[in-house]
Every structure is written in structure tokens, then in C-alpha cells.
Amino acid sequence: MSTMKVIEVLANSPDGFDEAVQTAVAQASESVRNIKSIYIKDMNAKVENGKITSYGVNAKISFELDGQSTF
């Protein structure tokens, strides 16, 4: 049985929600190993002068703790 941990992260991108999700995973993977999944809890966008200028996500990232394995 494996033991998982979940962290919540916020990420944004000027290019879209997909890019914001990729940014969340890329940034988290710089300090967290064994990432297994990402759940998008919330999405938002900033608007200026009638145009979207930034896309954001609030994401939960789960990862397996070191020394754990699945049986």
C-alpha cells in the first residue's frame, strides 16, 4: 500500500488554462518528487479592458511519499 500526500498550489499563465496547469506541475516538480496526479479545484481569469490577460488555476497535486510502494 502506498501513502500519498496532497499539496495545493496556485499557478497562472497569459496563454490559457492548459498552460497554467502545466506551470503548476512544472513548478511543483522542482521541489516535489513522485507526482502522481493533479486535480483542478478552481479556475479563474483576470480581465483588463474587456480582454483576458491571465488564466489561473487552483490545483491539488498528489504525490507518493518516499520509501512507499504499491503492493
Q: Residue 2: pLDDT band by 50, 70, 90 thresholds?
A: confident
* pLDDT at position 69: 53
* pLDDT at position 71: 43
- Measure the CA–CA gap between 56 and 35, rounded to whole angstroms: 20
Sorted by where each begins, the domain ranges of the chain are 4-64
Q: Which class in CATH covers the domain with range 4-64?
A: alpha beta
Phi, psi of 21 (to 5 degrees): -65, -45
pLDDT digits (tens, 9 = 90+) for 34-67: 999 999 999 999 999 999 999 999 999 999 998 6
pLDDT digits (tens, 9 = 90+) for 7-16: 999 999 999 9
* pLDDT at position 1: 67
